Structure 1
Amino acid sequence: MKKVVWFVLVFTLFGCSGNGEKFDGVFEGRPRVNPPYVVGNYPGTEFIFAIPTSGERPMTWTVEGLPEGLTLNEKTGIIRGVVKEAGDYGVKITAKNAHGSQVSELQIRIGKELALTPVMGWNSWNTFGQHLTEALIIETAEALIANGMRDLGYNYINIDDLWQLKERGADGHIVIDSTKFPRGIKYVADYLHERGFRLGIYSDASKYTCAGVCGSLGYEEVDARDFAEWGVDLLKYDYCGAPASRDTAIVRYRKMGEALRATDRSIIYNICEWGRRKPWEWAKEVGGHYWRTTEDIRDAWDLRESGTGLYGIMDIIDVNGELADYAGPGFWNDPDMLVVGIFGNSSSINSGKVQYGCTLKEYRTHMSMWCMMAAPLLSGNDVRNMPDSVLNILTNPEIIAINQDQLGIQGKMVKKEGDCEIWIKPLYKGEVALAVMNRGEQAEKVEVPLQLAGFVNKALVRDVWLHRDLGEYESLKLDLEPHVTVVLRLTQH
């Protein structure tokens, strides 16, 4: 008879890691080069990449195998330049500090694809809404450097709605709100690029945006050229004020997609029509790199019984989790931005007679499941001022590595027991991420045979939140508190 080994893991306190292995913070210890380990760019367009590296500063970087046209700043770890020739380029990176060095490999793919791993960064809307300024963007960039988020891969800083005036200028161009951006968008882009970030911006496939300022309908080529000249690297393209017709949406999104592709920049295209016209079936063909699959996220655990028609974290998982077959490198399902650490303090995404805000364990489940679903990770909290408990969720390198895995497979739910769901995400080199989520209101016991993850015999098990190797097991038995998610990384014995 086959022997079954049980491991009992009881979560009674959120974030309990007292018995785990020591895990250095972002700016402690030896260098650790973090993902992504594969990046894409169009030929003949600007390439910007800050090597995401944890470890004590000061640190220096060296590289071998950079394609012609790229250079490395050895003191900042930022690679910039323009590669004219398409091709796959293998680059050897060495990061070194007082504690030692680490060697890593980066694949730079110059060709037709961008966003080879899910986009990571920050977006202004969820917390700040209309309170958007040049100062906020610059302060956010400096905060992402100071708190280590850039060194974990958060490299897009996205300006959302209300950066522009309501009416287009007499010359046919969108008018930047000079009270918010007195030195213009190009100044902000240049500032971010010098620090290894990329800039995202927002518009709408209608005359006006969701907030009622100037959209891009009929001026797609003009606006795309302006965005490129300013140094924009990502466009979030909304659909407020546009006809409900799927055919119309496809035409309008294709028009902007073609305009973006005709510029001299590698601009990632976010199609944001809230999943109403099933964009996962057509967004890739019109130039999209990731597409919203649901209505806007709210800072809440579950809103199904609220009667509001709004979407909390669980509601979105139920929709996005069914769409794994449509995702892959360069093309991602987008279950909307992260609400980790907002704690109900948003006038932009929270409305109605609902109590908003989540607990830390709920935010950790939110982060866990977005990583399991290979979703874009765009934080929306005030990163200039957040407690360490929130920062630790957003900067866990092990959960981020699951999200940024270069195989690019969206995880799927494979089994449900009571209110507990078991999810599997295949990883590069034969490893597997396994998540067990208790979405219910009571503690649950759940058995997890590792055959569900494709392991015939024992697997080596590591808890990515405890940062702890647990040992070799054939099966696990977990005792989960309400709203807790355990994420394990499994390796063949």
Structure 2
Amino acid sequence: MYTSQMIKDGVTSSKMFYFRRAILTVFFTLLLHEANLLENGLARTPPMGWMSWGYYMCGIKCEGNESKCLNEQLIMSVADSFYRDGYQEAGYEYIIVDDCWSERARDEHGKLVADRKRFPRGMKFLGDYIHARGLKFGMYTNIADVTCMRYPGSKQYLSLDAHTFAEWGVDYLKVDGCFVSEDFLNVGYIMLGQYLNMTKRPMVYSCSWPYYIEFIHKKQPDYQVISKYCNMWRNFHDVQTSWEALAGIVQHYRRGYRDMAPHHGPGQWNDPDMLIFGTGVLTRSQSRIQLAVYAMLSAPILLSCDMNKITQYEKTLLQNLDLIAVAQDPLGIMARPYMFNGVIVWIKPHLPKKGDAYPSFSFALVNLDIEDSHVNLTPGLYGLNSTDGYTVLDVFSGHYLRNLTTKDTLSLLVPGQDVIMYTMYPL
């Protein structure tokens, strides 16, 4: 099957020989070193940080459009903002440069080259700048011959590119899957992951594998396999800067819970894509919904915006340590959704525990409709088992509201397009 696919892709017989040899090499390496491939020790909690794509996209037209320019100054300014404005202390650490960062052609040695005009000092300089502030550096490639925006891809250069990223000090690699056959998706991600491991540099491996399998090739993703080879993976469409796109993401994860949850946990995360804070498209209540749902899902929390446009309210949400504690809980459990009177109630057990038997629980009651909705909720029906009861924290206000027993019922009014989020700690 590889021969026919390679012919379709226009690969020469010489390249085909090396490609087939690479597949055999990786296959036998996997047999010998499967444990190393399945567990690289990274992303024990979901990554938090910033990624360029959602807001800046392919920002190459910089003259007269400096505010949307993807360049060295932008990435340095994000690092400075994280370091200066409290984001680093709250857990945000990865700064990730997405597509359109490179020259249109590789150099004479076949290596990727940063755009000389927008990144004049190169990616090693940028990585060093980020690392000097105690932060981590992320980059992007695609496992096709070209990236989604037609810059050089990694398909014929998997080993070389892995070592190049390692030399540049990359800590996180986002790998796209545009223009890739189903057959190559199912081997290319495994091959590149193995080459990354061979560099001996720890790099979080972020795949788009299941998205392309499901939405481009119309097949059911095999999460059992995907979760063995990637630290995180995108399941759904690129987030757009609109409330409708965000509501679609929430519903997708509600519907897909049974398929996704069994393969989700420390080192292996479903990725609902970036936050759209700092873009002016969400109301305060809609912003609460996005952050609450991502925290309940144990999802990566990656901003994509002009950091100077984050409102003070959004900043307060993003640095709410009670909410981040739920998002970054070491157990990494993906909250289970239930429907009550049109409201999605996400329920998640997490630390701290009282002894070994009584975990804490968080409840997020999410109303995507415009009308208010009443919900009567008896938390004790959903796993709460502490005989001494619980104390209830309103996560957004930071106030403790009351104590309750496992038999008590909460009668709640959930406003339209808003969320109520409580954490219940065992007494």
TM range (shorter): 0.7 to 0.9
CA–CA separation in structure 2 for the residues paired with 1:460 and 1:275:
40
| Distance of 1:315 and 1:179 partners within structure 2 | 42
* Structure 1 residues 320 and 181: CA distance shift in structure 2, 3 A: farther
Aligned to 2:262: 325
Q: Name 1:260's counterpart in structure 2.
A: 196
Q: Deviations over 1:433-467 (max 9, x none)?
A: 11111111211110110113322453211111010
Quote the residue 2:415 is aligned against: 481
Unaligned segments of structure 2, at least 5 residues: 1-38, 60-68, 214-220, 354-358
Question: Contact 1:300/1:313 (CA < 8 Å) preserved in 2?
Answer: no
CA contact (8 A) 1:434 1:488 kept: yes
What's the secondary structure of 2:195's corresponding residue? Answer: helix
Q: Quote the offset at 1:491 in angstroms.
A: 1.5
Question: In the TM superposition, what is the alpha-carbon distance from 1:359 to its structure 2 partner?
Answer: 1.4
Letter in 2 for 1:371: A
Partner of 2:55 in structure 1? Answer: 127
Find out whether 1:402 has 2:333 as its counterpart: no
Distance in 1 (alpha carbons) for counterparts of 2:238 and 2:255: 12
User: How far apart are 1:168 and its partner, in Å?
Assistant: 2.0
| TM alignment of 1:377-456, pairs within 5 A | 377-413=301-337, 415-428=338-351, 429=353, 430-456=359-385
Distance 1:143 1:161, change over 3 A: same
Residue number in structure 2 paired with 1:298? 240
Do residues 200 (structure 1) and 138 (structure 2) align?
A: yes
Counting only pairs closer than 5 Å after superposition, residues 22-421 of structure 1 correspond to structure 2 as 112-129=40-57, 130=59, 131-243=69-181, 245=182, 247-273=183-209, 275-277=211-213, 278=221, 280-285=223-228, 287-302=229-244, 312-319=248-255, 321-322=257-258, 323-343=260-280, 357-413=281-337, 415-421=338-344
1:486 aligns to what SS in structure 2? strand
Q: Is the 8 A contact 1:412 1:424 kept in 2?
A: yes
C-alpha separation between the residues in 2 aligned to 1:461 and 1:327? Answer: 27
CA distance, structure 1, for counterparts of residue 252 and residue 83 of structure 2: 30
Deviates more, 1:151-160 or 1:320-329: 320-329
Give the counterpart letter for 1:451 in structure 2: G
Distance in structure 1 (CA, Å) of the matches to 2:343 and 2:311: 29
SS in 1 for 2:95: strand
Deviation of 1:212 after TM superposition, in Å, equals 1.0
Cα separation, 2, equivalents of 1:190 and 1:273: 30
- Per residue, is there more strand in 1 or in 2? 1
Q: Within 2, Cα distance between the matches of 1:139 and 1:398?
A: 27
Further displaced range: 171-180 or 222-231: 171-180
Contact (CA 8 Å) 2:340, 2:375: kept in 1 or not?
yes
Q: Distance in 2 between matches of 1:298 and 1:391?
A: 20
Return the offset for 1:317.
3.4
Matched residues in 1 for 2:47 and 2:298: separation? 10
Say which SS state the counterpart of residue 152 (structure 2) adopts: coil
- Structure 1 pair 315/423, CA: closer, same or farther in 2 (3 Å)? closer
For structure 1, the residue ranges without an aligned partner over 5 or more in a row are 1-110, 304-309, 344-356
Residues in 2 aligned to 1:290 and 1:170: alpha-carbon distance in whole angstroms: 33
1:169, 1:161 → 2: CA distance? 18
Report the secondary structure of 1:406's partner residue.
Answer: coil
Question: 1:50 — aligned with what?
Answer: none
Larger relative contact order (CA 8 Å, sep ≥ 6): 1
The answer to whether the 8 Å contact 2:210/2:226 transfers is no
Give the structure 2 partner of residue 72 of structure 1. Answer: none
Shift in alpha-carbon separation, 1:252–1:112, aligned structure 2, 3 A: closer
Please give the alpha-carbon distance, in whole angstroms, between the structure 1 residues aligned to 2:132 and 2:56. Answer: 25
Distance change >3 Å, CA 379–CA 436, structure 1 → 2: same
2-side partners of 1:212 and 1:279: how far apart?
28
Residue deviations 1:171-223 (CA, integer Å, cap 9, x gap): 11112101111111011111111111010000001011111111100101100
Q: What is the rounded CA distance, in whole Å, between the counterparts of 1:422 and 1:361 in structure 2?
A: 16
3-state SS of paired residue (1:455): coil
Q: Is the 8 A contact 1:294 1:320 kept in 2?
A: no
Contact 1:431/1:490, CA 8 A, preserved across alignment: yes
What is the aligned residue count?
360
Give the whole-Å Cα distance in 2 for the aligned partners of 1:146 and 1:193: 14
1:168/1:195 CA distance change after superposition, 3 Å = same
How far, CA to CA, are the matches of 1:331 and 1:280 in structure 2? 10
Secondary structure of the corresponding residue to residue 236 of structure 1? strand
Distance in structure 1 (CA, Å) of the matches to 2:307 and 2:397: 23
In 2 relative to 1, CA 223–134 (structure 1 residues): closer, same or farther, beyond 3 Å?
A: same
Report if aligned partners of 1:274, 1:296 keep a CA contact under 8 Å in 2.
no
Q: CA separation in 1, counterparts of 2:222 and 2:100? A: 25
Alpha-carbon distance between aligned partners in 2 of 1:242 and 1:436, rounded to the nearest angstrom: 39
Superposed displacement of residue 141, structure 1 = 0.7
The one-letter code matched in structure 2 to 1:233 is D
For 2:82 and 2:283, locate their aligned partners in 1 and report how far apart those are by CA, in whole Å.
23
Determine helix, strand or coil for the equivalent of 1:241. Answer: coil
1:138 aligned partner, one-letter code: M
Secondary structure of the corresponding residue to residue 389 of structure 1: helix
Residue identity matched to 1:268: V
Matches within 5 A, 1:453-468: 453-456=382-385, 458-468=389-399
Point out 4+ residue stretches in structure 1 off by more than 3 angstroms.
310-322
- Cα deviations by residue, 1:80-107 (Å, 9 ceiling, x for unpaired): xxxxxxxxxxxxxxxxxxxxxxxxxxxx
Distance in 2 (alpha carbons) for counterparts of 1:256 and 1:378: 23
What is the deviation of 1:252? Answer: 0.6
- Give distance in 2, aligned partners of 1:269 and 1:231: 14
Offset of residue 279 of structure 1: 5.4
